[in-house]
Amino acid sequence: MELVPEPTRDRPQGIWSLLPSSLKAAASATPAKLWMARISQPSLEFLLHDGEQGVPQQYKGIAAVILMQQLCDSGSQGRCWDKAPGGEHYWIGAAGRYLLHNGKIHTLFEPPGKPALLRSVEVGNSHATIAWNPPTVAAETVTAYNVYRVASSEKSGKPNGAAPARALMRRQFSANRFAERRIRNPRLEPALNQNWDSILIASVDSDVRVYSDHSLTGLSKYRFYVKALNQAEQEGASSDEITVRTGEPGKPSAPSELTCNRHSKKQYNLNSKYGSLSDLKELIRTAAHQYQLSCCVDVVANHRSATKQDRNGHWTVFEDPQWGSWAIVCNNLQGYAGEGGLDTGTLVECAPDLDHTNPQVQTDVKKWLLWLIKEIGYTAIRLDMAGGYGVRFQKDYVDSVDKPFTVGEYWDGRVEALVNYVRAGQGSLAAFDFALYYVLKRCVESQNFQELNAYGRINGLIGIEPQLAVTFIENHDTDHLDYCSTFGGGNLDAVLQGYAFILTHPGVPSVYWNHFSDYGQYCRQKLQELCDVRVHQHIHSTSGIFMARTEWGLYAAYISPETRFCQPATASVAVKIGFKDWSPQGPNWGIATCGMNYCVWTRNKEFHC
């Protein structure tokens, strides 16, 4: 429909109608003014005003409004059409709220509601992590969130009240790719000693509902609130405000909502509220002998929490084994310098990073691993924060205990980064396939599976080094930290679609315990059926795969126990994910398991749906 004006003589208002583009109308005799229009079906009613007096009272509160400017030249004497650049007409396809700006029609959206349940997740000496829920009103319009911070100092000798931050920085984060880019902030830092109410410190994507501020100072109070943005970058109402208080600089901190200590202190003390050291050894022995399970130990060797303060008040005294500040890197983030060398990876704030270039640290880590393997009975290793220290040290540690299966938490969504990590380990180190995790999550949630196909291979570490790729749908970090929201928003059907992929494909799949224990009997049954398919059809980490369809609404593939070679005629498993119909070619296929928008076939199998 074309927007054209109709002239009127009896009143100052102009009536603009949506007419077929073949019709023409005379130009309005009204002089150039700012117009305000109320959109209805099928006409646009404009109220003439001069742009200075504002909207008359009787038109306030109208939901559907459009602002337009009459474009006239000096010789037209007001008889002109409101034309877009190039003499074209403006086009509006449906009733709604629109804004004419710089020759373009923009749709106006209702501002979103206020984010709900703002809360602190973790507070340290120089950082705070907050989380929130989407608005209960107009949540579907949210495209991003703005995070605001108000600082009020509590340090001795300084008055309480709002204080200027050291610098004003706005950051944008991509939820799935962990990309960060700095952009120009529209506001300047205030003059010295000038107070402000709040500053915008971050803008995060709509599926991110957690933010960590790492620019705080110790023993200070900070207030945070969050606003949602819609497609037009309009802010909605502010969330309720929360207050956090940072800890003493240098003092180790632990996440407030965790029920177990993830920060290594006394490394040989494995007693906890879950049981004693002897209980743990008996549990591992029973798991291995009665159930043929291999128990994996979570080795936190990147950082360590001290148990005592030194004479300067710094937390640098370690026990069991006994270390001092010499074991801490010199560029740590705890507010004091260690005496060791530079960190060989990414620094963390939760506890001092260890200097793995120190021979004594290396010796003690190897002794500790040997004790965990030989004395306690662990037969596999998970390396926490594998990006925090050099791969060469990780390989050396693992090789010293006869190379048990070891997977590193190398948190990077880039395929090339994961490939570089495992190849640097020379076969001693596997890695969690975060690249596949992000791709599969996007594909299942959007039902567009094109991204899974990377020039004929699976888009992830699984497509290049499948024997070293540990695939997963969720783990204790992604579930707790909520960096990218839960897989499929926690929807059971989406979760099972993800498992239908990783449990039938190459790589080393892992099932998140919460999915098996907390998602109900139906979920447990379907996970068991998928695991049975993998075991009975002898699918392994280097099984061959043939991707038949990767498109909008459909992913379909054939899998064979043959290593890295598969054709439909030789496959033993077929799988489809998505809302489109598909079935495998050839005879003797039977459905082994199925659910909402996924199905798995095997040769000569009974129907189990």
The confidence score (pLDDT) of residue 504 equals: 98
Q: How far is CA 4 from the centre of its chain?
A: 46
User: What type of residue sits at position 102?
Assistant: N
What band does 337 get if pLDDT is binned at 50, 70 and 90? Answer: confident
Give 156 or 224, the one with higher predicted confidence: 224
Would 430 be classed as within a structural domain?
no
Task: Judge if 123 and 231 occupy the same domain.
Answer: yes
Name the range with the highest mean pLDDT among 158-167, 252-261, 297-306: 297-306
Task: Report the C-alpha gap between 37 and 68 in whole angstroms.
Answer: 8
Q: Is 298 a catalytic residue?
A: no
Q: Are 35 and 69 within one domain? A: yes
* pLDDT score at 163: 32
Say yes or no to pLDDT of 138 above 80.
no
| Catalytic residue selected from 409, 433, 445, 465 | 409
* pLDDT-derived band at 189, boundaries 50, 70, 90: very low
Q: What token pair was written down for 8?
A: 């009127």
Instruction: Return the amino acid letter for 140.
Output: E
- The pLDDT of residue 113 is above 70: yes
**Contact (Cβ atoms closer than 8 angstroms) between residue 376 and residue 270:** yes
Query: What span, in angstroms and rounded, lies between the C-alpha atoms of 578 and 592?
Result: 17
Q: Which of 20-34, 134-148, 309-323, 359-373 has the highest mean pLDDT?
A: 359-373
Q: Do residues 81 and 177 both lie within one domain? A: no
Does 486 reside within a domain? no
Is 34 a residue whose pLDDT tops 60?
Answer: no
Tell me the mean pLDDT in the region 412-419.
93
Q: Which CATH number goes with the domain that contains 149?
A: 2.60.40.10
Q: How, if at all, do strands 457-458 and 180-183 pair?
A: unpaired
Residue 128 clears pLDDT 90, i.e. is over it? no
- Rounded Cα gap, residues 31 and 365, in angstroms: 83
Strands 543-551 and 554-563, by their bridges, are: antiparallel
Residue 248 binned pLDDT confidence (cut-offs 50, 70, 90)? low
Average pLDDT, integer, range 290-298: 94
Name the nearest CA neighbour of 144 among 190, 118, 112, 104: 112
Q: Are 91 and 174 in the same domain?
A: no
As a whole number of angstroms, the distance between CA 485 and CA 513 comes to: 18
pLDDT given for residue 497 in this prediction:
97
Q: Would the pTM count as exceeding 0.95?
A: no
Query: What pLDDT is recorded for position 108?
Result: 64
Q: Which of 77, 108, 139 is the last residue of a domain?
A: 108
Mean pLDDT of 334-351: 84
- Distance (Å, whole) CA 485 – CA 205: 11
Encoded tokens for 575: 């799988």
Q: What is the pLDDT of residue 609?
A: 54
Please state, in angstroms and as integers, the Cα–Cα distance from residue 197 to each residue in 75, 126, 217, 223, following that order: 51, 21, 18, 10
Q: How far apart are CA 136 and CA 131, in angstroms?
A: 16
Q: Which residue's structure tokens are 């206020």?
A: 114
336: confidence class by pLDDT, cuts 50, 70, 90: confident
Identify whether 84 is part of a domain.
Answer: yes
Shared-domain flag, residues 121 and 187? yes
234 and 122 housed in the same domain: yes
Do residues 148 and 186 both lie within one domain? Answer: yes
**Which among 310, 315, 293 has a CA at the least distance from the CA of 377?**
293
Please give the average per-residue pLDDT across 581-607, as a whole number. 89
Mean pLDDT, residues 37-61: 39
- Can you read off the two tokens belonging to residue 185? 């902030």
Average pLDDT over residues 35-46: 38
Mean pLDDT is highest, among 119-128, 225-234, 520-529, for: 520-529
**Beta strands per DSSP E along 414-553:** 430-432, 453-454, 457-458, 469-471, 508-509, 543-551
Cα distance from N-terminal residue to C-terminal residue, the chain: 50
**Which range (71-75, 219-223, 332-336, 422-426) has the least confidence?**
71-75
- The tokens describing 213, both together, are 């501020």
d(CA 546, CA 552): 18
What is the average per-residue pLDDT within 226-231?
Answer: 87
- pLDDT winner (highest mean) among 15-19, 99-103, 232-236, 319-323: 319-323
Residue 54 lies in a domain: yes
**Residue 103's pLDDT band (boundaries 50, 70, 90)?**
low
* Whether residue 469 has pLDDT greater than 90: yes
Q: Are strands 180-183 and 104-108 parallel, antiparallel or unpaired?
A: unpaired
Share of the chain above pLDDT 90, in %: 45
Highest mean pLDDT among 89-93, 439-443, 602-606: 439-443
Specify the higher pLDDT residue, 69 or 207: 207
**Token couple for 399:** 């090789």
Q: What is the pLDDT of residues 553-567, one digit of tens each?
A: 999 999 999 887 888
pLDDT in tens, 522-535: 999 999 999 999 99
Range of the domain at 127: 116-245
**607: exposed, middle or buried (Cβ count in 10 Å: 0-12, 13-18, 19+):** exposed
The 10 Å CB-count burial string (b at 16+, else e) for 494-526 is bbbbbbbbbbbbbbbbbbbeebeeebeeebeeb
Based on the fold, state whether residues 126 and 203 are members of the same structural domain: yes
Q: Between 80 and 158, name the one with better pLDDT.
A: 80
**In the sheet where 405-408 sits, what is the strand order?**
296-299, 380-383, 405-408, 430-432, 469-471, 508-509
Tokens encoding 171: 């950051």
373 by DSSP, 3-state: which?
helix
Specify whether 76 is located in the same domain as 16: yes
> 214 lies in a domain?
yes
DSSP 3-state assignment of 265?
A: coil
> Which of 181, 210, 245 represents a domain boundary (last residue)?
245
In a domain, 425, yes or no: no
Arithmetic mean of pLDDT over the chain: 76
Q: 37 falls in which pLDDT band (50, 70, 90)?
A: very low
**Mean pLDDT confidence for 569-576:** 95
DSSP string covering 92-124 = --SSSEEEEETTEEEEE-PPP---EEEEEEEE-
Q: Is 79 part of any domain?
A: yes
Structure tokens at 353: 């990073």
Considering its fold, how many domains does the chain have in total? 2
Amino acid in the structure at residue 258? L
Decide if 284 contacts 376 (C-beta within 8 A). yes
62 and 140, same domain (yes or no): no
Instruction: Examine the pLDDT at 584 and tell me if it is beyond 60.
Output: yes
Given 310, 319, 384, 451, which residue is catalytic? 384
Q: Which residue type occupies 69?
A: Q
Out of 179, 214, 245, a domain closes at: 245
80: three-class secondary structure by DSSP: strand
235 catalytic per annotation: no
Tell whether 120 and 142 lie within a shared domain: yes
- Is the Cβ–Cβ distance between 410 and 417 less than 8 Å? yes
Q: What is the mean pLDDT of residues 87-93?
A: 52
Q: Does residue 447 or residue 351 have the better pLDDT?
A: 447
Residue 224 lies in a domain: yes
Query: Which of the four pLDDT bands, split at 50, 70 and 90, describes residue 177?
Result: very low
User: Can you give the pLDDT at residue 105?
Assistant: 62
For 183, other C-beta atoms within 10 Å of its C-beta total 10
Asked whether the beta carbons of 495 and 566 are under 8 A apart, the reply is no
Question: Are residue 218 and residue 234 in the same domain, yes or no?
Answer: yes
